[in-house]
Chains A and B, each alone.
Chain A
Amino acid sequence: MKSWTFASRFQLPSLTPVLATLGLCIVAIVAVLAPALAPFNPNLQDISQRLLPPLAPGHLLGTDQLGRDILSRLIYGSRISLTVGFVSVALGSSIGTLLGLCAGYFGGLVDDIIRWLMNVFLAFPFILLVITVVAGFGSSAVQLVVILGLVSWTDYAKVLRAEVLSVRERDFVTAARSTGATNRVLMFRHILPNAISPLIVLGSFDAARLIIVAAALDFLGLGVPANIPSWGSMLSDGRAYMQVAWWLATIPGIAIMLIVICLNVLGDWLRDRTDPRSRAVE
């Protein structure tokens, strides 16, 4: 037991989550201001300047096999990574929240149908789904985001359903029901706000996971089209030149690693904050 002091009450979070948040903010600013920050057009080719190493004059991070400026491509590539990370998570968590809430609240047949649907999505091979969609509709950034959102909702639904099952039995829900509250009010005003905190944690980890998945899809050529610079496709292109130009694959790899670490650190911190069991004894 620690005695109550001003300092303990308003303790600043430790340094790592602050750094992680700062890192993510920088990436977000870079993505938004990409046209202003990038020194070159990311698709501008200059064969005479190909495979320049980092710190070459004019090209801070060097150039790739077609003479495109790697820094500019990295800056533009952050757009795809962030979009995939956040829009897919938003999409997946919205679907998952709605279905998980319904499953947990109504139970019975609704629950059975939603859980059946979850099992279908979990059982379906993800890569096969992507190949099918890309084969059928071609590839675009929008499609990538939608697919990732559609396959990630199950985790949210599972976690929220379990949480709703416990929250709906709490006294204040019964009390609200006794005043004549409708299902909609009970679900969205009383149960959801009290059940949602694990999803925030899940979302931060999921964003990291989806960024890696998106990079992997780019690497396999199933992601965004080639004219849009992305970290995954940079990695894939650079692979062929590993022995002559190590920086082609290394630089986007480091970028992916850093953003994923930032998200995971943030997720860890959020989990410790919201889960009373893992909170240190105060």
Chain B
Amino acid sequence: MSTNPADVEKPSPDRNVLVVKNLSIVGRGKNGQVALVDQVSFSLRAGETIGVVGESGSGKTMTALAMMRLLPPNVSISAGQILVESEGAVVDLVSASTRTMRKIRGKVLAMIFQDPMTSLNPVLRVGRQILDSLRAHQPKRMSGAREAVLNLMSRVNIPVPAERVRSFPHQFSGGMRQRIMIAMGVANSPSLLIADEPTTALDVTVQAQILALLREITSSSRTATVLITHNLGIVAQQCSRVIVMYVGRIVEEGPVSEIFQRPQHPYTYLLLRAMPRLDSRRGEYLANIPGTPPSPATRLTGCRFFDRCPYRIERCQREEPPLTQVGAGHSARCWVMMENSGSMTQPR
């Protein structure tokens, strides 16, 4: 598909289904360009689920939209590569044509959005919408279309698909609509599924069902998943690796067990401490991180977490720490950690 030899030269090592290299995203505002995502790199193997966590404005949704090339009009990719495999060739999505992107969306990459209440067309029957996403990558005359739609609906555990296929979205609950969205997403068995806070708009019991469904569907088809969330509990249960983002930068990444047991970046540590726990005492205040993330528009010289970091040292204000490896597949971006020779001692 890609004719650019530069793309073909880079084979995807170790069956990576997605390689993001130094992705930078800028937004154009009234006061010039603002870096929303800054040199983000990560890769994903088949069947793997990676969690991307961070506060609002950390750039996690922008990273996801960039992968689909669905960024809003005033936001664009300024540098980097997003490599996926499509029809046997490696394609760089950053330079792919609109036509190529049309063929890749839904077929190689699929996305599940945050709010199932607004992500379905209100005037089309759900069966029709599933059929449409199915047909976007099938020959014009498709045999067994109805069976395929019913099949997908039962795969996402919709009771009595034959009856519900003719329902309109408003006749479904939020959880059911998210099931429909998942059915539409996996209709053409994409190799990568991007789920952008798929359960944020749902209530807790439905959340668990939807996450279980996502796990089941992606593991049975070895679909790689990028799960964007701000809920660390979901990450712990769903992902094998996690990326922590802060104001457009990856501040820490590593296997879930590592991150949860030995967080190396103060931000990750504080995030984990801010999680409500079952064994917390009654009347105990939930820990929080004072302050708010800086606006991406302010130009920072040092570490982006400097203002809010309780462990900051003088060096943090002067230079930004590099992403440094601290263990197997585990790296973080912190001077304090590095000066303690690669291990953070967490002060109380």
Task: Tell me the A residues contacting B by CB distance below 8 Å.
Answer: 170-172, 174-182, 185, 189-190, 193-194
Contacts and interface: CB of A to CB of B under 8 A. Distances in A.
Interface in B66-114: 68, 70, 102-107, 110-111, 113
Interface in B115-139: 115, 118-124, 129, 132-133, 136-137
Contacts of B184: 175, 179
Given A171-B113, A174-B70, A179 B122 contact: no
A187 B320 CA distance: 46
A182 B102 contact: yes
A175 B113 contact: yes
A180 B70 contact: no
Contact of B136 (A174, A179, A193): A179
A204 B61 CA distance: 44
A103 to B, nearest CB: 16
Interface string B161-201: 00000000000000000000100110110000000000000
A60 B315 CA distance: 102
9 contacts: A171-B113, A175-B119, A178-B70, A178-B111, A178-B113, A179-B136, A180-B106, A193-B121, A194-B123
Contact of A174 (B113, B133, B188): B113
Quick one: which of A172, A174, A189 has the most chain B CB within 10 A? A172
Interface of B is mostly: loop
B122 A178 contact: no
Contact of B121 (A172, A178, A182): A172
Contacts of A177: 70, 105
A182 B136 contact: yes
Nearest to B108: A180
Nearest to B72: A169
Contact of A189 (B110, B132, B181, B187): B132
A203 to B, nearest CB: 19
A179 B136 CA distance: 7
B105 A189 contact: no
A193 B123 contact: yes
A180 B68 contact: no
Contacts of A181: 106, 132-133, 136
B132 A178 contact: no
Given A175-B181, A176-B129, 20 more contacts: A171-B119, A174-B70, A174-B113, A175-B113, A175-B120, A176-B133, A178-B68, A178-B70, A178-B111, A179-B110, A179-B136, A179-B187, A180-B103, A180-B107, A180-B137, A180-B188, A181-B106, A181-B133, A185-B136, A193-B123
A178 B102 CA distance: 8
